[in-house]
Amino acid sequence: MDQLIDGARARHVRLILLWFGTWKNGAGHYVPLWIKRNPQTYPRLENADHLPLDGMSPFGEQTLTRDKAAFKALMTHLQEHDAERHTVIMVQVENEPGLLGTVRDHTVTADRAFNAPVPTDVLNATGQPRHGNWSEVFGSQAAEIFSAWAVSHYINQVAEAGRAVYPLPLYVNAWLHYRGLKDPGTDFPSGGATYNMLHVWKSQSPAISIIGTDSYTNNLEQFHEGVLPYQREDNAPWLSESGITVPNARWTYDLMARGGIGASVFGVDDPDHDDAISAHGLDNTLLAPLIPTLVTAASNNTVAALLEERGRPSPTHIFGSWIVRAAFGASWGLPDPAEAPSDGQEIGRALVARLDATHFLVAGTGARINFLSRNHDGGIHEVVRVEEGTYDAQGAWHVVRIWNGDETDYGMSLPEKAGAALRVEVLDIAPSFPRHTMIP
């Protein structure tokens, strides 16, 4: 821990830590060997045939006691070594928790709880008016909802033990229920923080600040299917994991436009993905100075992400009297393509934020941005100045250069290898009709 904190401080960055205790990817891969060797004290997860699985029972009281103690020790150490500096700003509790190999735990203790009355707070959270055991109340969904209750209740106790000594924000990441995945316990961990179990999780884990999303897809529609259900008033958008690919660089833009708190890429230290690492590094360098401005714009709902999706129409966004359009695969001197190229990787990505009535911030790479007036009234509606630059630490805009006519005649082309941040000024002058003198 100290090595991580010292390294972060030397590089002037903050840390979010990932805690692996009882769960790692729906299994027990990080459970200590001395616990695994003693199933009488620390019971294993069991399937319907009462066979032990690779995972711990969420009803193991001694397992929970050990996990709470270990997490509390971690948070105590952070409080003692980092409470003044706040190098560590958030901690993940467990990793993609849930049950694999069974929809619910079938240990003796679990069976007893499953046949007992459903707790009142779960009935309230799920809007169930009737009382009874889990099967009587929830029918065919009983096993999955029971598992969500058991896992979230367990993790909340671990989180509470840590927050009692050092109340940092804590989050849980979800192995998503999307992309055609259907069967809990087989296609994804049963009882995890999937979109259809959020009501249970939110009611049972108040010590968890955020449910994060782990999305491994290069497809925009699939990405939205997975992460959009987590954007709620009680849950900030947070992409806790995504694959290390070039197309996935677009997801950072999407999250920022929707007021998300961030996006984390898995495997940035993998040398086999140099192109992807470069793409994500480019975005970090480009967007970091713009974040205060973009956060404000997102909170005012005046920022949009325009993302390339293979073979899909050029995306647009309306800002009052202006339509902003992003085109991909565009050539100088030619009109915007109607849609993105159907071959190659989807790399084009841009953020457009309205700063005031006449100024916009544009940032991104691999896209041509055009401003189109919605007013066809004979007035003057045009882009009059494009400045390339960035913001300093005090939030002041600094101009590197002014783009000339050849660079703006066919829209503003954001270069693929370097990207650009632009401050765009538009002119809106209503038509002025001449006065006519009436001759009697």
What is residue 436's predicted lDDT score, i.e. its pLDDT?
Answer: 54
Q: What CATH architecture is 2-242?
A: Alpha-Beta Barrel (3.20)
pLDDT above 60: residue 245: yes
The token pair that represents 229 in the structure block: 């259900």
Query: Per-residue pLDDT averaged across 58-72, rounded?
Result: 98
Entry pTM: 0.92
When pLDDT is averaged across residues 223-233 and rounded to a whole number, the result is 97
Provide DSSP, 222-278: HHHHHHGGG-BTTB--EEEEE-SSSGGGHHHHHHHHTT-SEE--TTTT-GGGHHHHH
What's the pLDDT tens digit per position in 76-102? 999 999 999 999 999 999 999 999 999
Q: Is the dihedral of CA 342, 343, 345, 347 positive or negative?
A: negative
Name which of 121, 231, 208 is nearest 156 in CA terms: 208
The two three-digit tokens of residue 154, written as one number: 């367990």
Mean pLDDT for 168-185 is 97
CA 76, CA 197: separation in Å to the nearest integer? 31
Task: Give yes or no for residue 377 having a pLDDT over 90.
Answer: no
d(CA 345, CA 127): 45
**Quick one: pLDDT at residue 191?**
98
Residue from 127, 271, 98, 266 nearest 191 by CA: 98
For residue 387, is pLDDT > 60? yes
Residue 86, both tokens: 């706040």
* DSSP per-residue codes, 281-331: HHHHHHHGGGHHHHHHHHHTT-EEEEE--TTPBPPEEEETTEEEEEESS--
What pLDDT shows up at residue 433? 64
Residue 193 DSSP code: S
- Residue 237: is its pLDDT beyond 90? yes
372: closest CA among 415, 299, 314, 420?
314
Helix, coil or strand: residue 94: strand
Among 135, 152, 57, 41, which Cα is nearest to 102's? Answer: 57
Domain ranges of the chain: 2-242, 303-429
pLDDT for res 378: 87
44 within 8 A of 102, measured Cβ to Cβ: no
Fold classification of 303-429 is Chondroitinase Ac; Chain A, domain 3 (2.60.220)
Q: How far apart are the first and last CA of the chain?
A: 92
pLDDT at 435 over 60: no
Mean pLDDT of the chain: 95
**Which pLDDT does position 417 carry in this prediction?**
85
* pLDDT band at residue 432 using 50, 70 and 90 as cut-offs: confident
User: CA 320, CA 315: separation in Å to the nearest integer?
Assistant: 16
Strand partners, 362: 352, 422
Indicate whether 439 pLDDT > 60: no
Task: Provide mean pLDDT across the span 249-273.
Answer: 92
Round to whole Å and give the CA distance between 176 and 98: 11
112-155 per-position pLDDT tens digit: 999 999 999 999 999 999 899 999 999 999 999 999 999 999 99
Comparing CA positions, the residue from 262, 332, 259 lying closest to residue 13 is 262
Which pLDDT tens digit goes with each residue over 303-326? 999 999 999 999 999 999 999 999
pLDDT bucket at 345, cuts 50 / 70 / 90: confident
Q: What is the mean pLDDT of residues 435-439?
A: 55
Question: How is residue 339 annotated by DSSP?
Answer: B
* Cα distance between residue 201 and residue 23, in whole Å: 16
Q: Tell me the three state secondary structure of residue 175.
A: strand
In the predicted model, is pLDDT for residue 271 greater than 90?
A: no
Q: Which pLDDT value is given to residue 438? A: 54
